[in-house]
Amino acid sequence: MSKELIEKFVSIEQHELVFSALKKGRGIFFISGHISNWEISAFAYAKIFRTKLNVIAKPQSNRFVNEKLTEYRELCGNEIIEIGVSLRTIFKKILQNEIVAFLMDQSAHPDYSVYADFFGQKVATFAGPAKMALKFKTELIFSYCQRNENFKYHIYIDKINYDDINEFTDENVAILTQRINKKLENVIRENPSQWLWFHRRFKHIKN
């Protein structure tokens, strides 16, 4: 799909927040979830703005399917970083003032995560974005895609503020991770039919 074709059915709101964040030189964490057509979100952003997203993704169990899916995902110029690859790769992208995108509504490892509230349950949640934001002052941008009745897509972009908790502590990591979960939950409540809910988000729960 060309830039011209994508712009006919995909629109992006508040994209200036991204450019303002990049001017600070501390990198950006794009936070999102499996909402609507998340694949077209990443593809469209790279095509429209002629820039690259570094997308963190879980590898598929079938090696051949994984290779083909990665090939398609990178056709627009994006780079796929598989979960399990050294964190140094992600650190490097952030320190180079690049954009790292991550879908936060996946089940995290129960021993290496923060248990944050999500729809009334304390679920294992990836704490990496919160940790890196607090450590490197990385900008946190929440973005999601919504399919409209005319089958066109609108991408919303919003900033996640954490100016009040800029010190790197375990408590602040937990607070910021909770803010991320709440942002995601609010969007899902507005459009529950557009959330891909069956990927075992509630696999690890703490009572």
Tens place of pLDDT for every residue, the chain, 207 residues?
888 888 889 998 888 899 999 999 999 999 999 999 999 999 998 888 888 999 999 898 999 999 999 999 999 999 999 987 777 899 899 999 999 999 999 889 888 899 999 999 999 999 999 999 999 999 999 999 999 989 899 999 999 999 999 899 999 999 999 999 999 999 999 999 999 987 789 999 998
Global pTM exceeds 0.85: yes
C-beta separation of 102 from 31 below 8 A: yes
Q: How far apart are CA 190 and CA 79, in angstroms?
A: 31
Number of H helices, E strands in the chain: 7, 10
C-beta separation of 132 from 90 below 8 A: yes
Query: What pLDDT shows up at residue 1?
Result: 81
Q: Render the burial of 118-134: b for 16+ CB within 10 Å, e for the rest.
A: beeeebbbbbbbbbbbb
Task: Name, in order, each residue with C-beta under 8 angstroms of 47's C-beta and a sequence gap of 6 or more.
Answer: 1, 2, 3, 6, 76, 77
C-beta separation of 156 from 10 below 8 A: no
User: Residue 147 is encoded by which pair of tokens?
Assistant: 């399919």
C-beta separation of 113 from 170 below 8 A: no
How many CA atoms lie less than 13 Å away from 117 in the CB half-sphere? Answer: 7
DSSP annotation of 26 reads: S
At how many degrees (to 10) do helices 170-190 and 128-136 cross?
Answer: 120
Q: Considering its fold, how many domains does the chain have in total?
A: 1
Domain containing 83: what range? 3-206
Query: What pLDDT shows up at residue 5?
Result: 86
